């Protein structure tokens, strides 16, 4: 009988050295990468991007970055509305197909992948996340806080929640609900010249959406598409 092979237990120090010497070396290397005359594509890209996420208030105040983000978001929403109107109300001829034929094929494909939609298959494992909602601030304990008090939900989502509650049959289904019809828009830092728009949703809506999203991910894995990879 052979003895099991011993693991190599040599200690490797992977800590980043601190102190002025390491700091100065990093700055010298960065300067060479950015400003040397023979820099290649990687250095050119680094030079263009390395300060793009630095939100310096002296360059663009937070109010300016926020207003630019909202203006950009509204412009995209208007463009999307025009696209929806053009494709869904009319019948656009693309040459190789029409918009109605294309949408029909897409619907058929989605139906074949997702299969029959049954509430007991989707709402079997409902769990809140620690993200912010219209009622609860983002924190390490936000998921727990969402279980206390009157949970926010939109009126359109109520019929889905009633089905989900029969599947869940636990603490969530016993919670009081309050109608909240609007999301709360806010912005977060993105680049030095513009923020990124985000929205806080009613937490019950978020819970239902997350369950549907997880169901879609499971079904997609059956046809070789893994969104978790």
Give domain status of residue 191, yes or no: yes
Query: Domain for residue 161, yes or no?
Result: yes
Establish if 52 belongs to a structural domain: no
Instruction: Please check whether residues 189 and 214 belong to one and the same domain.
Output: yes
SS3 64: helix
| Same domain membership, residue 205 and residue 149 | yes
In a domain, 2, yes or no: no
pTM of the shown model? 0.72
Overall domain count for the chain: 2
**3-state SS, residue 24:** helix
Q: Are 162 and 179 contained in the same domain?
A: yes
pLDDT-derived band of residue 25, with 50, 70 and 90 as boundaries? confident
Q: Distance between CA 212 and CA 206 in Å, rounded?
A: 10
Is position 97 within any domain? Answer: yes
Domain around 168: 119-221
Q: Considering the chain, what is the average pLDDT of its residues?
A: 86
Measured CA to CA, the distance from residue 78 to residue 51 in angstroms comes to: 31
Average pLDDT over residues 182-186: 95
Together in a domain, 196 and 166: yes
- Are 165 and 127 contained in the same domain? yes
Q: Do 124 and 215 lie in a common domain? A: yes
pLDDT at 5 over 70: no
> Helix, strand, or coil here: 196?
strand
With pLDDT > 70 as the criterion, what percentage of the chain qualifies?
A: 91
Q: What pLDDT does residue 19 have? A: 67
Same domain assignment for residues 75 and 129? no
- Grade residue 33 by pLDDT with cuts at 50, 70 and 90: confident
Between CA 88 and CA 97 the distance in angstroms is 14
| Residue 186: per-residue pLDDT | 94
Q: State yes or no: pLDDT of 35 exceeds 80.
A: no
**Residues 147 and 167 both lie in one domain:** yes
pLDDT at 11: 63
């Amino acid at each position: 009988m052979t003895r099991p092979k011993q693991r190599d237990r040599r200690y490797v120090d992977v800590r980043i050295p601190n102190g002025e010497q390491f700091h100065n070396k990093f700055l010298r290397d960065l300067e060479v990468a950015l400003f040397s005359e023979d820099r290649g594509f990687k250095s050119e890209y680094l030079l263009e991007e390395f300060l793009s996420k630095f939100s310096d208030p002296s360059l663009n105040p937070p109010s300016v970055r926020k207003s630019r983000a909202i203006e950009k978001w509204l412009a995209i929403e208007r463009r999307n509305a025009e696209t929806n109107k053009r494709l869904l109300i009319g019948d656009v001829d693309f040459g190789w197909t029409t918009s109605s034929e294309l949408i029909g094929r897409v619907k058929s494909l989605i139906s074949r992948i997702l299969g029959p939609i049954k509430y007991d298959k989707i709402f079997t494992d409902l769990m809140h996340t620690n993200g912010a909602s219209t009622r609860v601030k983002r924190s390490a304990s936000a998921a727990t806080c969402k279980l206390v008090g009157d949970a926010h939900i939109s009126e359109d989502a109520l019929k889905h929640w009633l089905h989900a509650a029969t599947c869940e049959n636990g603490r969530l289904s016993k919670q009081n609900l309050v109608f909240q019809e609007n999301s709360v828009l806010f912005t977060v830092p993105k680049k030095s010249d513009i923020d990124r728009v985000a929205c806080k949703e009613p937490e019950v809506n978020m819970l239902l959406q997350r369950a549907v999203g997880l169901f879609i991910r499971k079904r997609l894995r059956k046809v070789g598409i893994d969104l978790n990879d």
